[in-house]
Amino acid sequence: MNKPLLSASQLSKHFGGIRAVDRANIVVNQGSITGLIGPNGAGKSTLFNLLSNFITPDSGKVIFDGKAIEKLPPHKIAQRGCVRTFQVPRVLSRLSVLENMLLAPQRQTGENLIQVWFKQGQINKEEHFNRERALEILADVGLSAKANDYAGSLSGGQRKLLEMARAIMAQPKLVLLDEPAAGVNPALIEEICEHIVNWNHQGISFLIIEHNMDVVCDPSRFRDGKA
Ligand SMILES: Nc1ncnc2c1ncn2[C@@H]1O[C@H](COP(=O)(O)OP(=O)(O)O)[C@@H](O)[C@H]1O
Ligand SMILES: [Mg+2]
């Protein structure tokens, strides 16, 4: 199954005199866990920013799921199923862990003021469904006991888990993970790898930037030769 889910061609971005990304090409196949490696400062995070349009590319094309996305704003790209995490996790510290999760589902009926008046039943049903699903995913990643704690009280590794769990909550086709193992203790790294493999078996593809070569190169972790 070598059907491309994401393909970027000739992506470039310079910051003043620095060519952070210079005519980069990348393909992520449907169902794969694809690794992106390179030294510090090589432009990996910038490439993620270009793929998700957090930074506008100087030039280049990005096709996701058969459609050009390089001109779409980041939230539209996420709505199409391409969701990212950040090298330094961005959780909303003053919301609870569960509330962070409940922000992820796209196109919630209750986001629209008029529908708040006329579709209360549907909104309640959706919120109930989202809450159950969020609690299930939090249980999967071992954060159930923290569901009602402020996200700001989590350790660095737990924040990474929450960011990943929140990405999964958005029901993505592809998740872009920027250094999921950086600054995380070895036991938790093992756990994070297991979650990624499990989510992959549920049909979610991954593009992972990682410095830790054990994470990206251990073939026993990622079966089926997919990594
Ligand atoms: N917003 C920015 N403004 C100026 N320079 C930047 C910016 N973002 C990244 N860079 C520079 O681009 C290069 C690539 O950075 P980055 O993509 O973060 O690398 P990596 O993630 O591979 O470590 C570095 O030299 C970095 O200093
Ligand atoms: Mg980086």
Q: Which ligand is nearest to the CA of 88?
A: 2
**Contact present, 181 and 152 (Cβ < 8 Å):** no
What was the pLDDT predicted at 225?
43
Question: Which residue stretches of the chain are H helix?
Answer: 44-51, 74-79, 97-102, 113-118, 120-140, 156-169, 186-201, 213-217
* β-pairing verdict for 174-178 and 205-209: parallel
3-state SS assignment for residue 27:
strand
Pocket lining: 49 vs ligand 1, CB cutoff 6 Å: no
- Write down the architecture of domain 4-225 according to CATH: 3-Layer(aba) Sandwich (3.40)
At residue 31, φ and ψ (nearest 5 deg) are 85, 0
Note the pTM of the prediction, 2 decimals: 0.87
Which residues, in sequence order, are CB contacts of 203 under 8 Å at separation 6+? 31
Q: Which of 26, 37, 46, 58 to mutate to test the pocket of ligand 1 (most atoms within 8 A of CB)?
A: 46
- Ligand 1 centre distance from Cα of residue 63 (Å): 23
Condensed to tens digits (0 to 9), the pLDDT of residues 147-170 reads 999 999 998 889 999 999 999 999
Pocket lining: 45 vs ligand 1, CB cutoff 6 Å: yes
What was the pLDDT predicted at 14?
95
Query: What does each of the 227 residues of the chain score in pLDDT, given as a tens digit?
Result: 589 999 999 999 999 989 999 999 999 999 999 999 988 899 999 999 999 999 999 999 999 999 999 999 999 999 999 999 887 778 888 999 999 999 887 777 767 777 767 677 777 888 888 999 999 999 999 999 999 999 999 988 899 999 999 999 999 999 999 998 888 888 888 888 899 999 999 999 999 998 766 666 565 555 444 44
Look at ligand 1, atom 12, and give the residue with the nearest C-alpha: 20
